[in-house]
């Protein structure tokens, strides 16, 4: 195990290690290739249509539910592959088939290529989607569709990994991986995260939780028992029964450190 760090440096390293552990045990929601795009996406200014994406590594399947020229519901779909750092591209198809109220005849399913589509990731919760249908080109900004707030309340044990830069004490810039206890108290959008290592520094993060689709985030201030204070963000938060993962960014106000890392926590059984 790497040497122990205190304050946000310590917290960051625990986050990264936990995230790696979460990936290792096979979290279906995570992908090491890019931010997991799996979600319901929409344009908040145009409620009534949207798209669903299921993302596995560098491949994603996209289903678009929209309206045709006659105003009736229509849907398109197809697979996209990652073609650049933040870009997924593929062909778009329309299908027709047997009436849902009768027997299903696979021979009656007709698949027709209508155009292409490109999804460009602009952040963990937003993107630009361009597609064409029979020569008509559509380009829209989209975002993850909010549904409900996840509940992170619990006492977790896990690992954090982090890297830091700009520390007034150069030793603080060393990469760190540590075991960490993380206690989260959440009441709607109000959230407190307390991180600790037995016999070491305790840090308290008080902030506001927000969520778009499957991804949550926290904007917070923090203070540690070793005197370190600053601001922090938890990003791309995701929870499954008994486990959570998150990216983490922090800026120390009095020690100069800018830290980045990931965290994974599990609730002991």
Residue scoring higher pLDDT (185 or 85) = 185
- Do 92 and 169 belong to one domain? no
- Do 158 and 235 belong to one domain? yes
The answer to whether the beta carbons of residues 110 and 96 sit under 8 Å apart is: yes
Q: pLDDT digit string (tens) for 202-255? A: 999 999 999 999 999 999 999 999 999 999 999 999 999 999 999 999 999 999
Residue scoring higher pLDDT (164 or 7) = 164
The pLDDT, as a whole number, for residue 34 is 77
Asked if residue 61 belongs to a domain, the reply is yes
Q: pLDDT digit string (tens) for 137-169? A: 999 999 999 999 999 999 999 999 999 999 999
For 54, phi then psi, to 5°, come to -115, 115
Is residue 178 over pLDDT 80? yes
Q: Residues of the chain with pLDDT > 70: what percent?
A: 88
Is residue 19 over pLDDT 90? no
pTM of the predicted model as reported, rounded to 2 decimal places: 0.80
Asked if residue 33 belongs to a domain, the reply is no
Average pLDDT over residues 39-48: 97
Q: Among 86, 115, 144, give the residue marking a domain's end.
A: 144
The pLDDT, as a whole number, for residue 197 is 81
Task: Please give the Cα distance from 207 to 210 (Å, whole number).
Answer: 10
Q: Retrieve residue 202's tokens.
A: 């305790």
The pLDDT, as a whole number, for residue 33 is 65
Task: Please give the Cα distance from 143 to 47 (Å, whole number).
Answer: 12
Q: Which residue range forms the structural domain that includes residue 104?
A: 39-144
- Do 182 and 251 belong to one domain? yes
Q: Among 144, 175, 201, give the residue marking a domain's end.
A: 144
- pLDDT bin (cut points 50, 70, 90) of residue 65 is very high
SS3 221: strand
Task: Please give the Cα distance from 206 to 228 (Å, whole number).
Answer: 14
- Do 158 and 260 belong to one domain? yes
The pLDDT, as a whole number, for residue 198 is 73
């Amino acid at each position: 195990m790497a040497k122990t760090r205190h304050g946000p440096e310590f917290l960051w390293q625990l986050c990264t290690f936990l995230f790696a552990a979460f990936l290792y045990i096979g979290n279906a929601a995570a992908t090491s290739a890019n931010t997991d795009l799996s979600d319901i996406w929409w344009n908040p200014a145009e409620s009534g249509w949207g798209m669903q994406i299921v993302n596995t590594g560098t491949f994603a399947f996209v289903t678009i539910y929209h309206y045709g020229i006659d105003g009736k519901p229509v849907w398109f779909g197809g697979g996209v592959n990652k073609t650049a750092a933040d870009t997924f591209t593929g062909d778009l198809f329309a299908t027709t088939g047997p009436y849902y109220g009768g027997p299903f005849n696979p021979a009656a399913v007709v698949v027709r290529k209508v155009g292409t589509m490109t999804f460009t990731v602009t952040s963990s919760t937003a993107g630009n989607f361009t597609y064409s249908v029979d020569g008509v080109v559509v380009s829209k900004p989209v975002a993850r569709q909010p549904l409900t707030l996840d509940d992170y309340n619990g006492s977790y044990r896990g690992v954090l990994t982090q890297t830091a830069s700009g520390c007034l004490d150069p030793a603080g810039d060393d990469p760190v991986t540590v075991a960490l206890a993380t206690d989260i108290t959440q009441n709607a959008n109000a959230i407190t995260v307390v991180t600790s290592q037995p016999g070491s520094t305790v840090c308290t993060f008080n902030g506001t939780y927000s969520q778009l689709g499957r991804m949550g985030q926290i904007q917070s201030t923090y203070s540690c028992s070793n005197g370190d204070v600053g601001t922090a963000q938890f990003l791309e938060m995701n929870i499954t029964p008994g486990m959570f993962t998150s990216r983490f960014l922090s800026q120390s106000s009095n020690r100069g450190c800018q830290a980045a890392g990931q965290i994974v926590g599990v609730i002991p059984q």
